[in-house]
């Protein structure tokens, strides 16, 4: 008897962007940044510390890590050896996948945990090498045959990446309770806009005319919208964030430099030294002169007559 089995449509696609391999020497660091898409990292050798959204993750040989869109992160090679890694920026329009990896706590996996498919890392290396060779050198075949070879290598590479993502999901099920997919707390638009506001604050923090109204106008938001969006993502209001940044810098300049308090107040964008001193005392309960180490205080005693 004839019969037919219908399967659900699968419309998701995988995009591989910014695919690169790097050997980073001891002391190397990459500055704080974020992406609109996912980043998949693999460590071939050495160690580094990945700082992601306020958390630090020690990243060593054989480790995999997925960084979701919108999370601020930077990396430092703190070890004595070269840090050798692969970085794959990718996007996938499977909504369930996106929600799963944007809602789970940040964690790493090791290649030794990959068991179900038996996929050796050498396969990935081979496919990467073949793609590079196929796109940078002539295969010796006629153009129409060469194009077919390129198509095949692209598909094989995408298949391997999808298998790696599948293995990571398997590991989550095997080593913990099956991951649930809660509602995403922040949309990508909210995260991206909040990060742009944060960058704008950092770039203009010490301008005497800087204000929340100016920020809101810059991003075509009302003051209330700006406040709600930023607070939702950063868990602190834009004004409190500005205050914290200024306070951190004020403490750094008072503790680590011998700049006069007048110069510090000017650097921080205060209209006068007395205004800075009053604000600092409101923040910390002591004046800048009281906060500063005694060695600087003695060397800069003329400041004491104007510090309030």
pLDDT for 74-115, tens place per residue?
A: 999 988 999 999 999 998 877 678 778 877 778 888 888 776
**153 and 77 together in one domain:** yes
Sheet of strand 83-92: strand arrangement: 14-24, 83-92, 38-45, 63-67, 108-110
Looking at residue 130, what is its pLDDT? 64
Residues 189 and 161 in one domain: no
pLDDT digits (tens, 9 = 90+) for 227-270: 999 988 887 889 888 888 888 889 889 988 889 999 999 999 88
Residue range(s) defining the domain that contains residue 255:
185-291
> Which pair of structure tokens corresponds to residue 49?
């510390």
Using CA atoms of 268, 269, 275, 276 in order, give the dihedral in degrees to the nearest 10.
0
CATH number at residue 157: 2.60.120.10
How confident is the prediction for the chain on average, in pLDDT? 81
Torsion of CA 261, 263, 269, 275, to 10 degrees: 30
Terminus-to-terminus CA distance in the chain, angstroms? 95
Residues 234 and 156 in one domain: no
The reply to whether 78 and 205 lie within a common domain is no
Instruction: Look at residues 113, 146, 175 and tell me which one is the last residue of a structural domain.
Output: 175
* 3-state class (DSSP) for residue 31: strand
Q: Identify the CA nearest to 299 among candidates 265, 268, 261.
A: 261
* Residues near 281 by beta carbon (within 8 Å), at least 6 away in sequence: 287
- Region of poorest pLDDT, from 63-67, 157-161, 195-199: 157-161
Pair (105, 136) in one structural domain: yes
Q: Which helix (H) or strand (E) holds 174?
A: helix 143-175
How many of the other CB atoms lie within 10 Å of CB of 145?
Answer: 10
Number of domains making up the chain: 2
Strand, coil or helix: 179: coil
Q: Is the dihedral of CA 14, 20, 24, 27 positive or negative?
A: negative
Most distant CA pair in the chain, distance = 101
Considering the domain architecture, whether residues 161 and 215 belong to the same structural domain is answered as: no
Rounded to whole angstroms, the Cα distance separating 105 from 90 reads 19
């Amino acid at each position: 008897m004839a019969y037919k089995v219908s399967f659900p449509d699968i419309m998701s696609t995988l995009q591989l962007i910014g695919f690169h391999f790097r050997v980073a020497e001891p002391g190397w660091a990459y500055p704080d940044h974020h992406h609109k898409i996912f980043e998949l990292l693999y460590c071939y050798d050495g160690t580094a510390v990945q700082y992601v959204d306020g958390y630090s993750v020690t990243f060593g040989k054989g480790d995999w890590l997925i960084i979701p869109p919108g999370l601020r992160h930077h990396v430092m090679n703190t070890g004595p050896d070269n840090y050798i890694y692969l970085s794959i920026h990718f996007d996938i329009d499977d909504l369930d996948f996106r929600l799963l990896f944007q809602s789970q706590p940040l964690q790493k996996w090791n290649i030794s945990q990959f068991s179900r498919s038996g996929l050796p890392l050498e396969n990935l290396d081979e496919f990467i090498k073949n793609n590079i060779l196929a796109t940078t050198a002539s295969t010796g075949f006629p153009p129409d045959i060469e194009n077919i070879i390129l198509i095949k290598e692209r598909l094989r590479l995408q298949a391997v990446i999808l298998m790696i993502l599948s293995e990571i999901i398997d590991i989550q099920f095997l080593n913990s309770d099956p991951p649930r997919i809660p509602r995403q707390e922040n949309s990508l638009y909210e995260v991206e806009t909040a990060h742009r506001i944060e960058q704008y604050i950092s770039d203009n923090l010490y301008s005497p005319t800087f204000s929340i109204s100016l920020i809101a106008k810059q991003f075509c938001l009302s003051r209330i919208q700006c406040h709600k969006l930023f607070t939702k993502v950063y868990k602190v209001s834009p004004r409190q964030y500005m205050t914290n940044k200024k306070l951190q810098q004020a403490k750094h300049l008072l503790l680590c430099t011998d700049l006069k308090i007048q110069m510090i107040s000017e650097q921080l964008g205060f209209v006068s030294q007395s205004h800075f001193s009053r604000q600092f005392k409101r923040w910390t309960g002591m004046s800048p002169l009281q906060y500063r180490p005694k060695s600087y205080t003695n060397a800069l005693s003329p400041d004491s007559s104007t510090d309030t």
